[in-house]
């Protein structure tokens, strides 16, 4: 399914026909992710109205992108004297809101170390979304995703506008890394490798289910362990290589644009659009874990179906238990933050 999503995105990216008019807002559009993400959305013919919001330079980025001859209009919004209601104007009537606003990691930091700054940013953005665009699909990229998604949910609940089918934590980067890293070992076509990745989006909460892949049975246990570790800590690889200049931006922009395309295709009633995402999920609710990443079918109302993740081997079951402990704490941390804001 991931392959077909990639193929559809690249086909439509350069197609000349307008398919569906979606209004898409990017909050944090001038950042490392925001700029290339906005470029990819500008190339997507499902997007006809692209709104870019940031505390700095959104108008510059929008003007730059607006010269590209695709079907969409692009407008930049910044909260200054000329646009005191910039955020409201950005998101009003939007179909999709992507949120990459927030600070990225530096070497030595965990995603959770970003909580103190990013929780507040996401909380405040969600307050305005709740008032001005409660029917949009909300795609949260800002880390720590395991906590920022519950924060958005709680804010929407406070305003009585929470629709669990339309809130997504974007975990697509874990999928694309899995495809790429596995193909490097097997020497196969990365677009044909699809790993079922479940859990959350940070270190040990990321669980790639290799036992479900026939071609992984040829790998030694050591190779599998190395691959699992690389998928779980792929983000650290980029943070280390960037050496203080941030975290993944370009691969994340690709991942975010791929996921946004899938959400729009679902809204457009395309059948069998299946992607993994960190969503409000029944899978472990009875254990107090309200959000979990697994495959979901996307449709006109957002999440149409949350898939069971299938059989795990003993090692994967152990990983799942550790994942759940951390995930529960991450989710509760988000809830507590919103409660203390009242």
Active site residues: 201
Rounded CA-CA distance 37/7 in Å is 17
- Residue 247 within binding range of ligand LMR, rule CB under 6 A: yes
For residues 30 and 57, the answer to whether their CB atoms sit within 8 Å is yes
Q: What angle do CA 245, 246, 247 make, to 5 degrees?
A: 140
Binder of ligand LMR out of 27, 29, 156, 239 (CB under 6 A): 239
What's the min distance (Å) between Cβ of 113 and ligand LMR?
9
Angstrom distance (rounded) from CA 121 to CA 256? 19
Partner touching 239 among ligand NAD, ligand LMR, none, CB below 5 to 8 Å by kind:
ligand LMR
276 interacts with ligand LMR by CB under 6 A: no
| E strand or H helix at 302 | strand 302-306
Residue 155 binds ligand LMR, judged by CB under 6 A: no
Tell me whether strands 302-306 and 291-299 are parallel, antiparallel or unpaired: antiparallel
* Binding partner of 121, given ligand NAD, ligand LMR, none, CB within 5-8 angstroms per partner class: ligand NAD
Residue list 34-73, contact with ligand NAD (CB under 6 A): 34, 53-56
Residue whose CB is less far from ligand LMR, 210 or 239: 239
- Which uninterrupted H or E stretch holds 50? strand 47-53
Angle between helices 221-232 and 234-242 (to 10 degrees): 60
Question: Among 26, 139, 141, 279, which residue sits at the site for ligand NAD (rule: CB under 6 A)?
Answer: 141
Query: Which residues are annotated as part of the binding site for NAD(+)?
Result: 28-34, 54, 118, 141-143, 252
Binding-site residues sit at 28-34, 54, 105, 111, 118, 141-143, 177, 252
Query: In 3D, which of 92, 167, 102, 99 has the Cα closest to residue 131?
Result: 92
According to CB under 6 A, which one of 40, 47, 86, 173 is a site residue for ligand NAD?
Answer: 173
Strand, coil or helix: what is 246? coil
Choose among ligand NAD, ligand LMR, none what residue 219 binds, the Cβ cut-off being 5 to 8 Å by kind: none
Closer to ligand LMR by Cβ: residue 151 or 248: 248
Question: Quick check: 114 binds ligand NAD (CB under 6 A)?
Answer: yes
105 binds ligand LMR (CB under 6 A): yes
Q: Which of 248, 262, 296, 327 binds ligand LMR (CB under 6 A)?
A: 248
Q: How far is CA 176 from CA 90, 135, 186, in A?
A: 30, 29, 15
Rounded to whole angstroms, the Cα distance separating 142 from 97 reads 12
Q: How far is CA 278 from CA 22, 45, 82, 175, 295, in A?
A: 23, 26, 37, 12, 9
Planar angle of CA 238, 254, 72, nearest 5 degrees? 145
| Residue 70 or 251 having the CB closest to ligand NAD | 251
Site string for ligand NAD, 231-270 (x = CB under 6 A): ---------------xxxx--x------------------
201 binds ligand NAD (CB under 6 A): yes
Instruction: Return d(Cα 110, Cα 249) in angstroms, integer.
Output: 17
141 binds, among ligand LMR, ligand NAD, none (CB under 5 to 8 A by kind): ligand NAD
- Cβ closer to ligand NAD: 91 or 186? 91
Q: In angstroms, rounded to a whole number, what is the distance separating the alpha carbons of residues 152 and 146?
A: 11
Residue 91 near residue 20 (C-beta atoms within 8 A)? no
Closer of 52 and 319 to ligand NAD (Cβ) = 52
**Contact assessment for residue 98 and residue 25, using Cβ atoms and an 8 Å cutoff:** yes
Binding site for ligand NAD (CB under 6 A): 27-28, 30-34, 53-56, 100-105, 114, 118, 121, 141-143, 145, 170, 173, 201, 246-249, 252
Binding site for ligand LMR (CB under 6 A): 105, 111, 143, 173, 235, 238-239, 247-248
């Amino acid at each position: 399914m991931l392959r077909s999503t990639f193929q559809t995105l690249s086909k439509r990216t350069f197609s000349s026909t307008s398919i569906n008019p979606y209004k898409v807002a990017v909050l944090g559009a001038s950042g490392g992710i925001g700029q290339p993400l906005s470029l990819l959305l500008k190339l997507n013919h499902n997007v006809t109205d692209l709104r870019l919001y940031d505390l700095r330079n959104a108008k510059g980025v929008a003007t730059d992108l607006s010269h590209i001859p695709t079907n969409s209009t692009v407008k930049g919004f910044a909260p200054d004297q000329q646009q005191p209601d910039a955020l409201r104007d950005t998101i009003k009537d939007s179909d999709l809101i992507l949120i990459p606003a927030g600070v990225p990691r530096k070497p030595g930091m965990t995603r959770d170390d970003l909580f103190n700054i990013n929780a507040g940013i996401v909380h405040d953005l969600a307050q305005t979304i709740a008032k001005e665009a409660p029917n949009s699909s909300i795609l949260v990229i800002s880390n720590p995703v395991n906590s920022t998604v519950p924060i958005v949910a709680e804010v929407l609940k406070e305003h009585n506008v929470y629709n669990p089918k339309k809130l997504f934590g974007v975990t697509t980067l874990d999928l694309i890394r899995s495809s790429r890293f596995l193909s490097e070992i097997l020497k196969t076509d990365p677009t044909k490798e699809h790993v079922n990745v479940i859990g959350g989006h940070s270190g040990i909460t990321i669980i790639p289910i290799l036992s479900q892949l026939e071609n992984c049975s040829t790998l030694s246990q050591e190779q599998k362990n190395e691959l699992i570790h690389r998928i779980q800590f792929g983000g650290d690889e980029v943070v280390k290589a960037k050496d203080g200049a941030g975290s993944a931006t370009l691969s994340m922009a690709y991942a975010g644009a791929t996921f946004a395309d899938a959400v729009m295709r679902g809204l457009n009633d395309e059948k069998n659009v299946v992607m993994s995402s960190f969503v409000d999920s029944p899978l472990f609710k009875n254990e107090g874990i309200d959000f979990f990443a697994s495959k979901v079918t996307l449709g006109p109302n957002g999440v149409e179906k949350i898939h069971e993740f299938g059989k795990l081997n003993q090692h994967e079951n152990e990983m799942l238990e550790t994942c759940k402990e951390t995930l529960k704490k991450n989710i509760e941390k988000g809830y507590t933050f919103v409660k203390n804001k009242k």
